[in-house]
Structure 1
């Protein structure tokens, strides 16, 4: 979403808005089998979230003549990859996409959370993976026949707001300027505010040399899991650039001469009371539930895709098989928000909205 405010925390939070929303709520039902409980205010809060983001995208279009992404607008580039499922996975993990040991073509978009921020500054960094050639009906009604499975990750294990209601409150605070934003930080400093500051302070020199997390849970068969991608490239990474676009420049320079790889991992929920579905600000501790590698992502040497060819792509965790259904309030809000904003962005720009 276009960002015009100079206040850094506002820019970061707005840019992450559609990665999130999920938890101070009044429950109206017991948890379902996956641990989900839908707050009674979620529908109204989701509608408010969609409305706020639509307004920002429309204002950006009215100002510039182009509708930019509402989140993770600054891309470092899209890269072609090969997503290979590991052989002989245990039956509990051999579900959906991971049911058979086979390889798929994939595209990965790397990005900054904030809109056009200098790469030397700390920020959320995104790794959006689109696995292609995946058979089976998908969860989005108007794209049920699509043959893609998306995974959206960022370079921090948790998010800083719990649910749609929390996000609406945060958005109102930052819309009031520096004083109301400071007030929000003061009242949330020991948890949400601390997470936000930690995200903002994360720096990297090359998107290929990092670890990324889903932050939010998904189903895996009858289990609940989170995902992570960990760089497995041996040797040195190119990090000669130190300028405002260093992440793009270093990634381009690295892939011009050699490839890169990631291990794609799954963390199974083992302690429901300590690993909530509806609160993405709580980390699922690896000491209690270690990650298991289920696939390898290989990125060959290549020219990194930039411009409209990269930007026309849409990523959402709801480009998904039912076996990997996104779980929790953040994921439910993302379903409505991503779909609405993707349609708006493509319509305003006169671009087709078609899954590969």
Structure 2
């Protein structure tokens, strides 16, 4: 059964560490701004911007009826699908599935904006935010500098290779792939990792060449419905809060359905979504992100947002 006995681990002077790490991403963003123009530090390539509805399930167990999932409801939402790479639909890559729930309500408040950010990997082979920053720095360095950094830190190299291996796994398209939060969020007094389940098992072999065309072709014919699931913390051994490299050993529970109605590309919507922020810390109190890695993201997202429109 889900437990409320989870705990976060706070590092000594982690606020200073996270601020310094955020500036690494800021410098990366500055360099890319000169070459590619204004935009995000990561996941700059927006594949599709979509209208959606998040429909909360009926008859959820008590432990799942928390925050925006406290009662059956249907909330308007926006979805941003993205590539991590700048090159369109190139592999290897880590894909993003970001959801902005608009005007949701919770038992303690109304008109809450709730952001969920998920990616195409279930786990991330790092020990914490410091490893993430080093891997990003390694992957974006010139070949000579990257080799020197790899030689000085073999453990980091192994971690980078493990993550790269996950990124090379076949990606069949946004409608036919599962997406994960990697790190947990609060679920009232409980904690849970999140998953968006593939809406279809019908794979389009041409999808890899144009992921946007694949999703919009599907939405020309019919709606798409994704199951939105939560996997609850049970104990620190099988469901560790802080370790992003561990696949949790606990059942998944469908708490909502994410419905994409039939729609065509909408330039105005695409611009609105591109200009908006999908920050997991924009959340109801009941669904705040958990863990050191997520606290590091708070500093990085805030600085990235401020730097988006800075003149190079």
TM over 0.5: yes
Aligned to 2:67: 96
Matched, 1:215 2:178: no
Q: Describe the shift of the 1:241–1:125 C-alpha distance in structure 2 as closer, same or farther (beyond 3 A).
A: closer
Q: Which structure features the higher share of strand residues?
A: 2
Query: Secondary structure of the residue that 1:106 maps to in structure 2?
Result: strand
Q: Describe the shift of the 1:146–1:195 C-alpha distance in structure 2 as closer, same or farther (beyond 3 A).
A: farther
Matched, 1:199 2:166: yes
Aligned to 1:46: 18
- For normalisation by structure 2, the TM-score amounts to 0.87
Q: Describe the shift of the 1:184–1:154 C-alpha distance in structure 2 as closer, same or farther (beyond 3 A).
A: farther
Structure 1: segments with no counterpart, 5+ residues: 1-31, 139-143, 350-356
Q: Describe the shift of the 1:167–1:233 C-alpha distance in structure 2 as closer, same or farther (beyond 3 A).
A: closer
Structure-2 separation of matches of 1:249 and 1:239: 12
User: How far off is 1:187 after superposition?
Assistant: 2.8
Matched, 1:55 2:27: yes
Does the 8 Å CA contact 1:75/1:111 hold for their aligned counterparts? yes
Structure-2 separation of matches of 1:207 and 1:282: 24
Partner residue of 2:241 out of 273, 277, 282 = 277
Does the 8 Å CA contact 1:83/1:295 hold for their aligned counterparts? yes
Matches within 5 A, 1:1-356: 34-64=6-36, 66-114=37-85, 116-135=86-105, 147-171=112-136, 173-174=138-139, 175=141, 177-180=145-148, 182-183=150-151, 186-188=154-156, 192-233=159-200, 236=202, 238-241=204-207, 243=209, 246-285=210-249, 289-305=250-266, 307-345=270-308, 347-348=309-310
- For normalisation by structure 1, the TM-score amounts to 0.77
CA root-mean-square deviation: 2.6
What count of residue pairs does the alignment treat as equivalent? 303
Q: Describe the shift of the 1:263–1:322 C-alpha distance in structure 2 as closer, same or farther (beyond 3 A).
A: same
Structure-2 separation of matches of 1:185 and 1:137: 49
Q: Describe the shift of the 1:91–1:167 C-alpha distance in structure 2 as closer, same or farther (beyond 3 A).
A: same
Does the 8 Å CA contact 1:45/1:164 hold for their aligned counterparts? no
Mean Cα deviation higher: 303-312 or 268-277: 303-312
User: How far off is 1:189 after superposition?
Assistant: 6.1
Structure-1 separation of matches of 2:275 and 2:306: 11
Structure-2 separation of matches of 1:168 and 1:268: 28
Query: Secondary structure of the residue that 1:231 maps to in structure 2?
Result: coil
Structure-2 separation of matches of 1:189 and 1:60: 24
Q: Cα deviation per residue 1:149-208 (whole Å; 9 max; x = unaligned)?
A: 011101111113222222344355454633135437843566x34531232212323211
Structure-2 separation of matches of 1:72 and 1:258: 28
User: How far off is 1:71 after superposition?
Assistant: 0.9
